[in-house]
Amino acid sequence: MYKTGKWYWNSAVITGVLLGAFGVWLSILGNPENAGICISCFLENIAGALHLHQNVRMSYLRPEIIGLVLGAFLVAYMSGRFRVRGGSSPLIRFFMGFYLIVGAAMFIGCPVKSVLRLSAGDLTAVPALFGFISGIWFGLQYVRGGFALEKEQELGKANGLVIPALMGILLLFLLVKPAFIVFGEKGPAAMHAPLLISLLAGILIGGFAQKSTFCMMAGFRNFFIARDGFLLRGIVTMFLVATGVAISTGHFRLGLNGQPGSHLAHGWSFLGMFLVGGISVLANGCPFRQVIMAAEGHTDSGLTLLGMLVGGGIVQSWEIRSTIAGPTFGGEIAVLTGLIFLMAVGTAFRTRRRQRIQTAQEEQTQDLVEHKEHYSLSGINR
Amino acid sequence: MRNSTMDRLDIVSISLIMILSILATGMVAMHREAAHSPQSQEAKAAPARQGSGDVNVFQEVDALIKSARYDEALNALRKTMEKYPKNPESQVYLAAIYNRQGDMEKAISLCRQSIEKNPDLLELATANLKDLVQKGIPKLQREKELKPNDEKVSTLLRDLYFCQRKLGQGCE
């Protein structure tokens, strides 16, 4: 199905064009440098606006995230792809969302931002991208080894409307600006493109991302598993378009040093994004894809999104997020516990392993029965 | 039992989980010791800002800097610093004066210290110290080429890159 479209005109490539172009333009129009679109940064901003952390400099209701959800919801609903399902290991998925943000906070950006940073010439994104791809490879070892979370099931339609409705309410808050929502007036919170443009960009990208199933993780995963380059072309297009726009607007500056919103702890950037890559495979979607899936009726992704939102609050409150000076101690420990979580979940949910244990237990029972029979027979003989 | 219940992936995963658990526990234990050190207690007892939010405190200094009367600005700033010794904004103005007087070394050091300790000073630093970054980096890069083993130049360049990353207005 994916391979029928011509590479230069399919929905994944269009999503890549939109992400690449808006990723740079939104920065030019006011968003923080190299963060025209970033799921993790924006969720931290939304968490701050909702009082989930106290860093006012990172508190703003980002219309891009609201737009992504509403755009994806509208396209899914109108095209009949709004299918409500869930119930697959919900608590595990919540913590997956949390650790997706922990990993991204170590690098200061989600996988989409890592491509945008690289396209602006920021070479500190290279180890992060390598980490992300390595994490995907590592996660695939569990998938190949029989990893699967509990089976999801069809749910009532109202369940799937919760996340789009929540975003609708956030949009209302953004327009009305009630006193209980925090809108920072300094730092990244004060840096934002005009509301309408950000919202429209989010809706457009969300719509096409829903249609194409665009996902940073799946782009590499599908290529590794089946040499399917449909989504990978979208990622490459995003990089090329963003690079083109950055060069043409004078926002391209090649180098490791002095890049905005970056640090030089490359090993930790690698490990942070390794965690994001690995968990994305187990959760079946990168942070960007989780947002889109939450909008199309996938309640498990809705829970992952809520985990990411809570994570956005905690990484700020507990000083887990890296700063320009480098990673914090809390961040290092959080990433290590994230890696433990990744491997523990990967190992615990391997169905083949469980089957092997079941087979071994059956064999043990059989052995025991034979053993008893043997001795009882021996007893009779005696 | 005829078949083992663990394959290679299980063994690797469990081994890595154990190694990472030990590593994380060790790091926490070491950090706990560091957190109770006298230096750390001193840092925790850092003084609060004084006079912050009072826009008039540095108005005179700001005006003198803008009219290029740097010696007078320095005198006015010293008086303000005596009155509000714990106000971190004075560090940014001091860095701005040193920068304009050509003392790049002191300016860079103060710039890094002030924005590292107080993220809220970023806007003030951007307004006053952007040219320090713009002119300082090419100058120090040339010096680094001429004196590749000079530790002082390397440190200054590293600090200035830090300021550039911070003033670059990315996410925090």
Beta-carbon contacts of A351 under 8 Å, excluding residues fewer than 6 positions away, are: A146, A147, A148
Query: Taking chain B, what is the end-to-end CA distance rounded to the nearest angstrom?
Result: 56
- Tell if the CB–CB gap between A261 and B123 is shorter than 8 Å: no
pLDDT at A4: 47
- Biggest CA–CA distance in chain B, Å, is 89
Tokens of A48: 């701050």
Lowest-pLDDT range of A4-18, A25-39, A230-244, A290-304: A4-18
Distances (CA, A) of B39 to A315, A319, A326, B30, B36: 26, 20, 21, 15, 8
Tokens of A232: 């990978």
Measure B120 CA to nearest chain A CA, in Å: 7
Bridge partners, residue A85, by sequence: A154, A298
Across B25-47, average pLDDT: 68
pLDDT at A373: 67
The Cα–Cα gap between A249 and A226 comes to 38
The Cα–Cα gap between B89 and B87 comes to 6
Q: Number of CB pairs < 8 Å for A and B?
A: 116
Residue with tokens 């100058």: B139
Query: Given CB atoms, is A350 within the 8 Å cutoff of chain B?
Result: yes
Lowest-pLDDT range of A109-113, A220-224, B41-45: B41-45
- Biggest CA–CA distance in chain A, Å, is 96
Cα angle, residue A48 at apex, residues A24 and B121 outer, rounded to 5°: 75
Measure B71 CA to nearest chain A CA, in Å: 31
Spell out a b/e string for B78-107, using b for 16 or more CB atoms within 10 Å of the CB, else e.
eebbeebeebbbbbbbbbbbbbbeeebeeb
Task: Give the residue among A341, A328, A283 at the shortest CA–CA distance from A308.
Answer: A283
The Cα–Cα gap between A237 and A249 comes to 18
The Cα–Cα gap between B164 and A154 comes to 52
Radius of gyration for chain B, computed over Cα atoms and rounded to the nearest angstrom: 24
The Cα–Cα gap between A10 and B147 comes to 54
Task: Region of A146 please: left (phi>0), alpha (psi -120 to 50) or beta.
Answer: left
What does the mean pLDDT of chain A come to? 91
Query: Given CB atoms, is A355 within the 8 Å cutoff of chain B?
Result: no
The Cα–Cα gap between A119 and A115 comes to 6
Neighbours of B36 (CB within 10 A): 9
pLDDT at A332: 95
Each residue's pLDDT tens digit, A150-194: 989 999 999 999 999 999 999 999 999 999 999 998 888 888 999
Distances (CA, A) of B76 to A355, B66, B80, B82, B93: 79, 14, 6, 10, 11
**Residues from chain B contacting residue A35 (CB–CB below 8 Å):** 170-171
Each residue's pLDDT tens digit, B54-98: 456 788 888 888 888 888 888 888 888 888 877 878 888 888 888
- Tell if the CB–CB gap between B21 and A32 is shorter than 8 Å: no
Cα angle, residue B108 at apex, residues B107 and B110 outer, rounded to 5°: 65
Q: What percent of chain A has pLDDT over 90?
A: 77
- Tell if the CB–CB gap between A325 and B162 is shorter than 8 Å: yes
Query: Taking chain A, what is the end-to-end CA distance rounded to the nearest angstrom?
Result: 71
- Closest Cβ opposite residue B116 in set A34, A325, A359: A325
- Closest Cβ opposite residue B171 in set A188, A332, A336: A188
Query: Given CB atoms, is A359 within the 8 Å cutoff of chain B?
Result: yes
The Cα–Cα gap between A363 and A365 comes to 5
Q: How confident is the model at residue A122 (pLDDT cuts 50, 70, 90)?
A: very high
- Tell if the CB–CB gap between B170 and A108 is shorter than 8 Å: yes
Model's pTM, two decimal places? 0.83
Cα angle, residue B123 at apex, residues A57 and A184 outer, rounded to 5°: 25
